[in-house]
Each structure stands twice: as structure tokens, then as C-alpha cells.
Chains A and B, each alone.
Chain A
Amino acid sequence: MLLRLAWAARSRHRSRTLLAVLGVAVSAAMLLDMVMLSSGMRASFKNLLLSRGFQLRLAPKGTLPFDTDATIPDASGVAQTLRAIGGVATISPVLGGQAHVIRGDRAVSATALGVDPQVQGDFELLSGREPHASDEMAANDDFLNAAAAKIGDTVAVAAGYDPQLRVYAGRLTLRVVARARFLYLAAGQRAIALPLATLQAMQGPASADRVSLFMVRAAPNVNVDSLLRRIQTAIPTVSAISTETAMRQVDERLSYFRQLALILGVVSLAVGFLLVSTLVTVSVNERLGEIVVMRAIGVAKRRVVLQIVLEGVAIMTAGAALGLVLGLGTARYLNSILASFPGLPAAIDFFLFEPRDAWTALGMLVSAGLLAGIYPSWRGASLPIAVTLREEAVA
């Protein structure tokens, strides 16, 4: 009967209820987006770092991976030392550089990654096979489109270009054997991957036995922090970064986003709260006669309060459900805009949906609806019955 009364009360002013639900839906969508934004980038970045199972990254001392052009010398020696440390399962060396693909009288520049195809963790194959042979390469669609190349084509690739002499250095003819999606590169960034030794040779003596980065996968059941400490002790010429360390650095860099998300989320919640609070207050004021008569005929105060609170919660819940759909749509659209955010991997999602986020937003909204209904309903149910009836009669 209580639910019936709450439903009936809301159905009585359908357009008003609908507008309130829509208002709450907009507020809920905003709140959900802000909750997704506050945790989405972080979660997305962590997922990305762990997507290929490498928990540690070794960069030249004092740098972050690919933050500078610095490289780690004596890469084979470092790899040997790493293998000797217990608990290391896989080592994936990566050398970064520039590549210029000469097509007729023009050149297409791209990021070049020298990798060990057996253990690489930088790209996923979309079609074709890993570039195992020294004259093979994989490329992403941005590169293939720009170079008008496809799998099976051979292309002339140079590792350097001297603008004064106008000559390309480290030229080699490579065969495209795969289309790939590079995990850590920004949207639109052209990229190719080739065997590490090939890229080292193309870059000349300066890159001999050098790499930009080692990615390390720990053996099962090995404590990553403990492994990190052992690596740092054994190889003082590198900076070892665990996923957790990287996440802390990401956290620092993303603090502005999180603050923005927090403020906008609180504003959304407050708007929803005020909307429902206003609606319930208006509704209570319109129904004072009914409310005090319910009290007069013996309906307990707490049941009257509960009925009115249910109305607020129903509006919030309906609005939140609608807002969930709206929020996901908005997040998808915003993600597509922000995918080309400079300097960030295209695989990063700003708004990452996790069921926990939806529950958090829903929980906050329903709580706000509950709180929004409590004061006006308690006030209405606490009015002196006889006096209110007389005033209603006079009115």
C-alpha cells in the first residue's frame, strides 16, 4: 500500500515527475562520467601496462621509459645479468628510433621499434606474422596508409636523415609481413617494428648493443617489489620501474583530472539532490491535508515519512538508470574526442566503465534521494494535525 501510494503520488503529476527524472538523469550521467573519469584513466593505464604481462621496466638511469633518447649500453650484458637473477621469467629488449621510408621522391617518417619478436610486448598483430627475419617489419595502419604499402610489399627504410647533406643513413630494404596495433603509441602516430638487431645495425655504431628499454616479466609467485630491489642492486646503471611505481607517477600527473572530476561530480550530485529535494518539498506542501489526515486516521509517522522518501528514491533511481545509459553514451563520445590527446597512448581510455563505478554513482544518487526526501517528509509528517487541518480548511 505504501509503494502504491508513493507511485500514485508520483503518477499524479506525470510531466513534473518526468522532468525531474530527466533532470536527475542528466545529473546522474555527469556523475557517472566523473566517477569514470576519476578512476578510468588510471585503471586504463594500469591495464595497458599489464596487458602483456610485463611488471617491470628498465630505463637508462634517471629516466623514464622513452622519456629521452638515452639508451642502455651493454644490452647483452644487462640481459645476461637479468637472467642470472632468480625470478625473472622473460626479458623483452626494445630500441626506439626514427624511420624514414622512401617512396619514390618522398619519405614517410615513422617511429621505429626494434624488438625481439619472440617476446615483444609492444604491439598486437592484426594480420600477418611476427617479423622474425632480419629484413622483415610490421607496421601499423597509419604507416601503411601514409606509405601506400601493404603486407608483402618491400620498402626502402632509412634510420636517419642528414638535412644538410640531404642523405639518408642506415638504408635497408624491408618486407612488410604484418599489420599491427602498437599499444603505447598515440593515435595517428605512424609506427613500424623490426628485429632489434636490424634496427641496431641500421642506426650504426652508436646503437651497437644498446636498447632504450627492457621489459621484464616476473616468474609466477615471485614478489615483484623484491625482484625490483634485486635488479637495482645488480644493475646500478638502470632505473627499474614497477607498474606500481609507474602508477604513482601517473597518479601525480593525473591529479588535475581527478580534482576536476571530483568537483564536477560533487556539483552533479548536489544538483540532483536539490532537484529531488525541491520536488519532494513542493509535493509535500501540496499534500499537507492528505498527510495530516493519514496521521489522523492512524498511519504512523515513520510510514508517512517512508512513503514520501520512497517517492524521492524512486525519482533518483529512475533518473540514475536513465543517466547510466546517457552517461555511457556521453563517455563513449568524449573518449573518441580525447583519443587523440597529445602524448598519451591511443589505447588509454579517459572514461573506463567498470561496474563498480556504476554502483558507486547509483549508490550516491540513491543516498542523495533518500536524504533529499527525509527532511521535507519528516517536516510534513510532524505538523500538528488539528492546526494543519484547520489551516487547510481555511485555505
Chain B
Amino acid sequence: MTAPLLRALDLRRDYHMGDEIVHAVRGVSLDVHNGEYVALVGPSGCGKSTILNLLGGIDRPTAGSVAIDGARIDDMSDADATHFRLMHVGFVFQRFYLMPALTAMENVELPMAEAKMPRAERQKRARDLLAYVGLAGRRDHRPSQLSGGEQQRVAIARALANQPRLLLADEPTGELDAKTGAEMIDLLGQVNTDGTTIVVVTHDEDLANAAKRVVHMKDGVVVDDRLRASR
């Protein structure tokens, strides 16, 4: 068995709410191998998004560790973790969070510019990525000129900009209607088929059913973790 791409060991995350301590995640361990498509599901407040944030290094665990491709992201300095995310992790958010002042093309270029990719190269890749997500004709549109589904496609293209091995998505269909959501599910399936490992947090049964593996959480712990039988 090869080493996992993502390894979380006994992750815990506590929040202080006044005098009270909220245990959002209570000792979660998770291995995700290269090429997997994992859905984290569970009721609201069970700690799914918190786990995703910890896995991506945008939050720090109270205890435990997270390693991506052998690199301990929880131990890195803020600057190192930021650079690691830039090069190795793609993020997709429920609310898209595109830069409203930039065009679709520029939004996709942003992480590549940050990674100091030459202009011509990044523009070519941004065009290719927008074509990949089906938005070749919408390159020069700003987010306000795009539908929700189109914005989420741009967000996926942006997440794939620096060819990360791991894509983390938090409720990517949460703001979309059923039809657009279904298209998004197909797109994520395609991204996974093309080699990117995906961990997705969702309430959407269709999206969870599209994943190869479903991890059920409740009250901050994993209560079930199984591969889907048929795909």
C-alpha cells in the first residue's frame, strides 16, 4: 500500500465561546490516498467544514496533525503554509468567493501569478482551464456577469490553476439549483477522473453519491467511513 496523500491523525479543534469551550472536532483520523474522491457528510455543526479547514491548513488544530504528501502543514509557519496551499491544495467554497473586480480569466490567473508563472504561460493555462470547465466564451466576464453555476466553474478552474494534487470543496453545490448542481457534480467527477484527489464537504446527497468514499461525521467524530460499492 502506498503512503496516503493526506493523513490526519487524531485531529482536535476546540473553540472558546466566552467561558465555554466548544469541541468542534474530537479526535478525527483520516487517510486519503491519491486519486480518491471523498465526501464528508453529516448534520450541520458536526465539524465537517472545520475538518476541511484543518486539512487545507487554513485553520490550526488544537491537537493532532495533518500531513499532505508527507509535509506537516499544521507545523508550518503561516508563510510556509500559505505557499504550500498555493502549490499543492485547491479550494472551492460554497459562495465561490471570486475577486469581483477581476474577469474570469484574471481570477484563474491569480494563483498562477502568485506562483510567479510567466504571463504567457499562465494566460494559456487559464484559457485552457476555462475551456475545461466549459467557459471558453466567458473569459472576459466579471463575476457579476456570470450565473452562480458559472462562477463556481471559474472557482474550480482557479482551484486547479497550479495543478494541485488535492482539491478541497466546501458545499460546492450549496448555492446552486438542482440542474446547475448536477452539472457541478459531473464537473467534479471529471476533475477526479483526470487525476485530482478530492475531499468534499456536502449536504447534497447526489454529490455524496458521486464520491467513491463517504465519511459520516457526528458530534465532531467520524462515525462511519466506507467505500461506495458501485460507481
Contact = CB atoms under 8 A, between A and B. Distances in A.
Interface of A: 1, 4-5, 8-9, 11-12, 289-290, 293-301, 303, 384-387, 389-390, 392-393
A300 B114 contact: yes
Nearest to A392: B95
Does more than half of chain A's interface fall in helix, strand or loop, or is it mixed? Answer: helix
Contacts of A303: 114
Nearest to A387: B59
B187 interface: no
A392 B101 CA distance: 19
B91 interface: yes
Given A297-B90, A298-B85, 17 more contacts: A1-B106, A1-B109, A8-B101, A290-B97, A290-B99, A293-B97, A294-B110, A295-B82, A296-B85, A297-B159, A298-B82, A298-B87, A298-B162, A299-B82, A299-B110, A385-B53, A386-B53
Contact of A299 (B59, B97, B101, B114): B114
Contacts of A289: 95, 97
A217 B1 CA distance: 98
Given A1-B109, A301-B82, A390-B49, A385 B100 contact: no
A298 B114 contact: yes
B86 A298 contact: yes
Interface in B84-109: 84-87, 89-91, 93-95, 97, 99-102, 106, 109
Contacts of B110: 1, 294, 297, 299
B91 A296 contact: yes
Given A1-B113, A4-B106, A389-B93, A296 B101 contact: no
Given A290-B97, A389-B93, A384 B114 contact: no
B97 A5 contact: no
Interface residues of B, number: 35
Contact of B58 (A1, A8, A386, A392): A386
Contacts of B58: 295-296, 385-386, 389
Nearest to A289: B97
26 contacts: A5-B101, A5-B102, A8-B101, A12-B100, A12-B101, A290-B99, A293-B93, A293-B97, A295-B58, A296-B58, A297-B85, A297-B86, A297-B90, A297-B91, A297-B111, A297-B158, A297-B159, A298-B84, A300-B83, A300-B114, A301-B78, A385-B53, A386-B50, A386-B59, A389-B53, A392-B95
B79 interface: yes
B220 interface: no
Nearest to A2: B113
A49 to B, nearest CB: 57
A303 B110 CA distance: 12
Contact of B100 (A290, A300, A386, A392): A290
A298 B95 contact: no
B56 interface: yes
Nearest to A7: B101
Contacts of A299: 82, 86, 110-111, 114
B106 to A, nearest CB: 7
Contacts of B115: 298
Interface in B155-196: 158-159, 162
B63 to A, nearest CB: 16
Interface string B53-87: 10010110000000000000000001100111111
Contacts of A4: 102, 106
A301 B79 contact: yes
A232 B210 CA distance: 103
A386 B85 CA distance: 14
Nearest to A295: B82
A300 B81 CA distance: 10
Contacts of B79: 300-301
A42 to B, nearest CB: 48
A287 to B, nearest CB: 9
Contacts of B158: 297
Given A297-B158, A298-B114, A301-B82, A5 B99 contact: yes
Contacts of A384: 59
A294 B158 CA distance: 11
A367 B84 CA distance: 33
A385 B78 CA distance: 11
User: B59, B84, B97: which has the most chain A beta carbons within 10 Å?
Assistant: B97
Nearest to A298: B86
Contacts of A1: 106, 109-110, 113-114
